[in-house]
Amino acid sequence: MPEVSAAAVKALRDKTNLPMMECKQALEFSGGDETAAVDWLRKQGKKTMESRSGRETSSGRIAQFIDAGKKVGAMIELRCESAPVANNEEFLALASGLAQQLALGPGAKTPEDLWKQPSPNRAGKTLGDQKDDLSNKIREVFNLARIVRFDGLSGGYVHHNGASGVLIEFEGGNPEVAKDIAMHTAAMRPQAVTKEELDPAVVAKEREILSAAARQEGKPENIIGKMVEGRLRNFYSERVLLEQPFVKDEKKTVGQLAKEAKLTIKRLVHWELGK
């Protein structure tokens, strides 16, 4: 086995941020060739990650990339094992690169498809290579849980801690109004965009409850129907995006805001990390 100098071990340690003993072992195994040693370390890291694949990934980050000029928007959810790693600069770069490539690349039907594509911020590497390098360094499992891309004018919002994100495809209006609506959605968590999108069974159940309550109040049967429809407005204003009071100006609904801006929501996705 060739003798490996302390300087070579330190150089590999500086390059990979891996323990000195692992770097020494890799150089010894590869005959002192640093490139081969890096490849060997990556392979060992992949084996380690495979053995840990069943571990829970409860932390992570939602990331988004929107290009108004190209009329495209994308959002991804990248999971890891611990909160400190979710705030690691290289983990943030990986999440950002995934969202950017999903938006500007050929698209991907599955997370596995996206991992195979080039990394926007690591020349000569795929996103999968970038993930493996970081996993090898940090020793945590990463899981690309969800991906979505809208091929149309898009707006969106991601909370500062990456724990929630909203992506909207829209027509008319402008991205700033779409972003305001996305921020509202993240805060108020509507169950549907329009009344028609609510589960009919849920609405029927609420109507039944309100009708029974009105009868208990002794209201005449001929006016109960109108009373129930009036009381359903409160039900809708809690659950339906376009019926909710806008968080920045509660004198108007989100629907009124959109109408004033001549904006029509075509699609909307709201994610919360791990949910």
pLDDT score for 52? 52
Q: Where are the domains of the chain?
A: 6-51, 59-152, 195-270
Q: Is the pLDDT of residue 55 over 90?
A: no
Number of H helices, E strands in the chain: 11, 8
Percentage, residues of the chain above pLDDT 70: 94
Lowest mean pLDDT among 50-54, 59-63, 106-110: 50-54
**Regarding the domain delimited by 6-51, which CATH topology (the fold level of the hierarchy) does it fall under?**
Helicase, Ruva Protein; domain 3 (1.10.8)
Task: Look over the chain and give the mean of its residue pLDDT values, rounded to a whole number.
Answer: 90
pLDDT bracket for residue 166 (50, 70, 90): very high
For residue 247, the SS3 value is coil
- The one-letter amino acid code at 65 reads F
Mean pLDDT of the region 104-133? 95
- The Cβ of residue 25 has, within 10 Å, a number of other Cβ atoms equal to 17
Scan for tokens 């009036």, then name that residue: 230
**pLDDT of the residue at 173:** 86
Task: Tell whether domain 59-152 is in CATH 3.40.50.300.
Answer: no
DSSP string of 54-115?
A: TS---EEEEEEEEETTTTEEEEEEEEES-HHHHT-HHHHHHHHHHHHHHHHSS--SSHHHHH
pLDDT at 29: 84
Q: What is the per-residue pLDDT for 188?
A: 96
Asked if 168 contacts 178 with a C-beta cutoff of 8 angstroms, the reply is: yes
Rounded CA separation 129/45 (Å):
12
| pLDDT value of residue 135 | 85
> Given a cut of 60, is residue 47 above it in pLDDT?
no
Query: Tell me: the pLDDT tens digits for 87-108?
Result: 999 999 999 999 999 999 999 9
Q: Report whether pLDDT(48) > 60.
A: no
Report how far residue 234's alpha carbon sits from residue 147's, in angstroms, rounded to the nearest whole number.
34
pTM of the full structure: 0.77
As a whole number of angstroms, the distance between CA 70 and CA 105 comes to 12
* Cα first-last separation, the chain: 51
